Amino acid sequence: MSGYASGILAIFCINLIFAYGIFVPAAAGQINLGGAGFQAIGAYGAAWLSSVAMQPMWITIPAAMLIAGLVGFLISFPVLRMRGVYMVLATFAFGEAVAGFLLWTQFFGGAIGMVVPAHIELPAICGSAAAVTLFAFYLMATRFGMIARSINDDEAVATLMGVNARATQVAAFTIGGALAGLSGALYAHNFSFVEAQYFNSFLSIYILLFVLIGGVQTAWGPLVGTLFFTLLPEVLRIGGSWRYVVFGAAIVLMMAVRPQGIVTRLMADRLSLRRLLAKRRQAGAGA
Amino acid sequence: MNSDAAVRPGTISAPSVVGAVIVILALGGAFYGGESIVRQLVSGLTLGAIYMTVAVAFTLTIGVLNFLNFTIPTLFMLTGMIAWGLMAKGYVRFAGGWAWLAALAAGVAVAVVASLIVERFTFRYLKMRHGDATEHAIPLVSSLGFLLIFEHLVLLSLGSESERFAVPFNADIHVGYLVIGAAQVASSVLAVAVVAALSFVLRKSRIGRALRTIAENADTALLLGVETNKVVPVVFVLTGLLAGLAGALFTVNYGHVSPFMGDEVGTKAVAAMVIGGLGSIWGSIAGGLIVGVIETFSVYFFGGDSVQMVVWTILLAILIVRPQGLLGAAVSARSRL
């Protein structure tokens, strides 16, 4: 595989894990516009543990996940007190505050950034992305996923039915934070360098858009959204700013014609393997 | 409920709070800190005047339409970049010594037109299709799309460099030991005048009443005979005007433009709006000035890299402790505007 293709594959896998980190809370109706903050925590956690504490990767990556998950858990309590625009703004503020802190403090190298000694190879990143994807599908098939969907559809009704919305949302936020942290740790180890400027508000915006355009109703959404927006520009061979113009136009168009995202629950049901097999069996029985 | 009862008995009116805060800060600074502190305060307030104008644009769309409009930073940037482009290509030479003003006016006009385009393709279209566009995150996401389109079209056509925008006056005003640029004074006065006028219009005029009715409840407003389809674009025109004006003032004050000038000012203005209280115009005014002062003081005391952290940590703390902001009403749309 050429260096170019493997570079794209690596960033695709990292973005996919990151997108699932945003998807899990979004599936429970929580829009997180501070994703870059969680990813930055994971990246800097892994970078510090690797370069200063000299820990091997099998410690740095899980530890980075744990730290980002813990931060997600703690921040979810104040954030979940708010709703709508307030919650979007609070998560946005969180992302900006984390980036601002990393830029300011000399402990993590400030504006210069940090060099990460341990390097992770592409197969490990792809394996993690595949595992996270399977985990997300599993999660959405469990009772937890069902409850999350019911909250997303109508929180008031879900609560009336006896669902503990708050506990579910806290759990979703924690899992989301941990996954974003994992993507950050993989980013740090793959690119061997972290700087606070990378984890800016535009990164948060892009990754949220991947998820929302893909669709939050099923676990297919982030996969389709990330694939679409990472690979489409490469396939079309459009570079530089035109890529973003097309991206922006695609978003405006999508919101106008299909605001629920590319993949909806109905579509996933219709195209499911089980259903297709059942249909074939029926046709076979009829004949 | 009487919607004119924004000032309840026993409460202090918002403008007087804003005025009092500024006076207390100024007097306190003058007594305890001396020269350099007062100088920081003045430059913070001029910066704050720009944040304030952008924050009012944000708060207007949130207050009336419950729509967090992410295109506002690009409208701000469009004004500066279009004005610079017109100057650089010599299209405004006919205006002679006033070419810079003609260019800036054209820039503001472009911002207004861009804002109307956004209205047409995010808000109106979505409302026609889905009944109520205000309930979901859809217009917000759509405006993020427009943010990308505008920003990268400017990058493609006008380049990514930070450019100088020369303004032919640089007179200074001396007040005691203070030396303030005339442009700074003029722009701060202009910003305050425009925002005060807007507040007056919203309170007293027919269109202002219509906007406040929509803010209260869009469906009821329609039932009561408010022509929402004609009134909603007014919000976007005002948004374009305010963001464009702020962009023009920023360009004149700091003498340079760049395709990214809106990003930082825009996010600071969001911070200002939240600190003041979503949907409250006087809250945004107070918030803008507070953020401007916080910024210059954190640069002064902790260095340039600390600004982002200080501003956003304060903001996060305010959201957690008092989500309605300093001057915002918790639930009621009554005193929003």
CB-CB contact of A91 with A32 (8 Å): yes
- Mean pLDDT within B71-98: 87
- Mutation target for B interface from A204, A207, A247, A252: give the one with most B CBs within 10 A: A252
Domain interval for residue A268: 3-286
Minimum distance, in Å, between the CA of residue A162 and any CA atom of chain B: 25
pLDDT, tens digit, 9 for 90 and up, residues B232-285? 889 999 999 999 999 999 998 888 899 888 888 998 998 898 888 877 888 888
CA A159/CA A180 separation, integer angstroms: 28
Chain B: residue whose CA lies nearest to A112: B305
pLDDT of B331 reads 43
Residues of chain B with pLDDT > 90: what percent? 18
The Cα B304–Cα A35 span in angstroms is: 25
Residue A1 forms contact with B (CB below 8 Å): no
- Determine the Cα–Cα distance for residues A41 and A37; give it in Å rounded to an integer: 6
The Cα of A255 is separated from the nearest Cα of chain B by a number of Å equal to: 6
pLDDT for the residue A115 = 87
What's residue B183's pLDDT?
76
Domain count, chain A: 1
Are the beta carbons of A259 and B136 separated by less than 8 Å?
yes
Position B277 scores a pLDDT of 80
Does A262 touch chain B if contact means CB atoms closer than 8 Å? no
Q: What is the pLDDT of residue A134?
A: 96
Q: Which of B136, B155, B307 comes nearest A241 by C-beta?
A: B155
Inter-chain CB pairs, A–B, below 8 Å: 133
Q: What is the mean pLDDT of chain B?
A: 80
For A72-94, the DSSP string reads HHHHHHHHHTS-THHHHHHHHHH
Tens of each residue's pLDDT in chain A, 287 residues = 677 888 889 999 999 999 999 999 999 888 888 999 999 999 999 999 998 888 888 889 999 999 999 999 999 988 888 777 778 888 988 998 999 889 888 888 777 888 888 888 889 999 999 999 999 999 999 999 999 988 888 888 888 888 888 899 999 999 999 999 999 999 999 999 899 889 988 899 889 989 988 888 888 999 999 988 887 777 766 667 788 888 888 888 888 777 777 888 778 777 777 777 777 777 777 65
Residue of B nearest to A78 (CA): B320
Domains of chain B: 14-307 (1.10.3470)
- Chain B: closest CA distance from residue A257 (Å): 9
Tell me the two tokens of residue A97.
């505050």
Q: Is the pLDDT of residue B217 over 70?
A: yes
Q: Are B333 and A124 in contact (CB under 8 A)?
A: no
Q: State how far residue A243 is from chain B, nearest Cα, in angstroms.
A: 9
Cβ separation A241–B309 shorter than 8 A: no
Interface TM-score (ipTM) > 0.85: no
CB contact under 8 Å between A259 and B313, yes or no, is: no
Contacts of B68 in chain A (CB under 8 A): 85, 88-89
Q: Would you call B152 and A84 a contact, using CB atoms and an 8 Å cutoff?
A: no
**What's A166's domain CATH number?**
1.10.3470
Whether residue B3 is predicted with pLDDT greater than 50 in this model: the reply is no
Which residues in chain A touch residue B304, judged by CB atoms under 8 angstroms apart? none
Tell me the H-state helices in chain B: 14-28, 35-65, 72-89, 99-118, 125-130, 138-158, 182-204, 206-216, 218-223, 228-254, 261-276, 281-302, 307-321
Q: Which residue of B122, B312, B323 is in closest CB contact with A100?
A: B312
Examine the pLDDT at B15 and tell me if it is beyond 70.
Answer: no
pLDDT value of residue B1? 34
